[in-house]
Amino acid sequence: MSSSNPSITIIGSLNYDLVTYTNKVPQGGETYQANSFETHVGGKGLNESIAVAKLTPKNSVLLSSTTTTTTTSGDGDGAIRMVGKIGDDSFGQQLKQFLIDNKVNVDHVHTKKKSVKIEF
């Protein structure tokens, strides 16, 4: 990439958060039924790459070569790239798609033959 077209590369974790809500925090050995359950994409790397993409008004994105189209956003003076690993499962695919949907380059998000890292 030329110096007139700078890029920002984020190297970090890509996680999938599983969040439960209870009336109080269980102590060791206690079991509580959750009042509700939510899922969220996360990980420091993913969160930072999304924040940078949203804060970069002229984000020119180079989408993954595995996608069917390549598009640009803004007038092309930068690219946001994510470097990390995802699992070969539905959580990993959701993480990757979330990055693509938010104009983050995923060419260096590699898939490993294990499940994605999950946080409770």
CATH code of the domain covering residue 40: 3.40.1190.20
pLDDT for residue 58? 61
Give pLDDT tens digits for 77-110.
348 999 999 999 999 999 999 999 999 999 999 9
Is residue 80 domain-resident? yes
* Beta carbons of 96 and 109 less than 8 angstroms apart: yes
Number of domains in the chain: 1
Is residue 1 domain-resident? no
Domain range spanning residue 89? 7-119
Question: Is a pLDDT exceeding 60 seen at residue 55?
Answer: yes
Give the integer Cα–Cα distance in Å for 95 and 97. 6
Question: Is a pLDDT exceeding 90 seen at residue 67?
Answer: no
